[in-house]
Each structure stands twice: as C-alpha cells, then as structure tokens.
Amino acid sequence: MESTSVEISPDGEFAIHSSHDGVVKIWETATSSLRNEYKPSSHLSSSCSCLSWCPKQKTTGTPKRKRRRSNKSDVGQAISDLDLVAIGTVSGSIILYSVVKGEIHSQLTDGHSDRVNSVVWYPESNSLYSCSSDKQIIQWEVTSSTIKHKWQGDKGAVHSLCKCSSKHLLSAGRTIKLWDLANKHLLKTFTGHATEVFRMVHIPGGVNDNVENSYFLSAAMNDRLVNAWHIDMESKDKNAITAFSLSDEPVSMQTSSHEKVISS
C-alpha cells in the first residue's frame, strides 16, 4: 500500500496533492481553485511518499511586549506562520514547502537511506520527526535543517509516526512503540496487528499535555480492523481495548476533535 498523497491543512482551507512525477499542487478547498504548484527540478525530482502539514500555533488575543531574545514559543510561531508542508520522498530526503512563499523553504537531507514513510511536526520544540524503511527515526531541527537525534525505531521498517503529546511519540512497524522524547527511551510496546501499521491517530483524553489515559487508533495494511488503544503507563497490558470492523480496508484515517468524529 502506498502512503496517501493527499492531505488537508489543519484549518481546512487547503488540500495538497502530489503526483508520481513529483509535482505538488495546493488547492483552495472553498473555491476548488489552484493556489500553488511546485514542479521539482531534475536534480530534486523524487516521488512523494508522504505529506504532513505543520499545525497552526494557537495565539492569544492579548498582545505581548517585545522580547530581546526569542524563546521556543516564538520559534514555533515563526514556523507556523510559514504554513509549511513536509514532503517525504522515496529517496529519503524531506522537502519543506512554504504555502505562504509559494516555494521550497528548506530541505532535510543526508538522514535516511531509504524511503520516508511518515513525518510528524513538533513546532513548539522546533522539531520534525521522520521514520523510514531504513528502520531509523530522526529528529530534525527545522530552523537549521540539521539532525538533532537519530535512533533505530524497530528491527524492520518503521511505517508510521504519531504525536501523542509534546513529550511523547508513537512509532509503528508491526508493533507500536511509545517513546519518551526527552531521552528517546522506549516506554511501552503495543501488539495486535499482523501486518505493518500505516496510520495512527491520537485521541486526547488526559489533562492538558499529559499522555496518560489518552487513546489512539491504528490501521494496518491489508487489514479491515481498526484497533483502539488506551495509554496506561501502569498497566502491563499490550493489547487493544477494542477493534472496529470495516467493510473494506482503510486507506486513510482522520479525527475531528470538535465533533469527536472518526472517518476512514
């Protein structure tokens, strides 16, 4: 199964699509009109393997006084303002495309030796995480386009990543792993899928940014079941709490936090 080449922006205003020839098109959802088109030059041409929009930073209505030094919040807001889309490629590189500028903002290279399967943003910490068929997970520093950390995520290819808090990350091959991002330690392993997990969606259930007592869904290749999991750090149970049987194999999965709707 190929990763989806269509993603909707967090605010629902845009849809991005990448064709097999590497051409990326961004459409306005309200008018169905083409907003931007990116055609890679021959030396950059590589098929898209995954897409991910940078989430918008929440801002308060009260203006703040200017600070002499920027902090993590300022950096996260600056990244958010660029309206970036991460484009993973089969060659292992990642392109950061700015919708605001209508051009490539930067490139993340010399990290993966095989196709990039999933990317997830942590703008509050100036980070982007990626996983690959080369078994590695990489934490990139967005502003400098450099590698901050790199570690082996599984014995085989790592197919999916999911942000479950600002301090935790879920990764998946055939098994699902919960990582502590402060020290890259493995906290818990979940088992239940017979094939590779290609998609995970986190459902907040804890207090604020606490991953404890939250939930997530997972879908695997050639599998009509969507599993639901409960993150309980004190429990030794590694199995899903329930599974939803679909009439056909899911190819994508999204949630709506306002209406608590799950679609696949």
The Cα-based distances of 8 to 14, 39, 71, 199 in angstroms read 6, 20, 29, 15
Instruction: Say which residue the tokens 């935790």 belong to.
Output: 168
Distance, CA of 220 to CA of 249 (rounded, Å): 9
Return the closest-CA partner of residue 190 out of 202, 169, 172.
Answer: 172
Angle (nearest 5°) at CA 139 between 135 and 144: 135
Q: Is 0.75 topped by the overall pTM?
A: yes
Pick the closest to residue 186 from 201, 202, 170 (CA basis): 170
What is residue 230's predicted lDDT score, i.e. its pLDDT?
A: 94
Within 10 angstroms of residue 6's Cβ, the number of other Cβ atoms is 11
Residues of the chain under the 50 pLDDT cut: 1, 3-4, 43, 60-64, 66-69, 259-260
- Structural domains of the chain, ranges and CATH numbers in brackets: 1-57+73-158 (2.130.10.10)
Render 22-64 in DSSP notation, one character per residue: S-EEEEETTTTEEEEEE---TTT---EEEEEEPPPPP--SS--
Residues 6+ apart with CB under 8 A from 224: 245, 246, 247, 248, 249, 250
pLDDT for the residue numbered 3: 46
Q: 261 by DSSP, 3-state: which?
A: strand
Q: Give yes or no for a contact between 136 and 149, defined as CB atoms under 8 angstroms apart.
A: no
Which contacts of 39-42 are long-range, i.e. CB under 8 A and separated by 24 or more positions? 40/95
Nearest Cα neighbor of 226 from 261, 203, 199, 260 is: 199
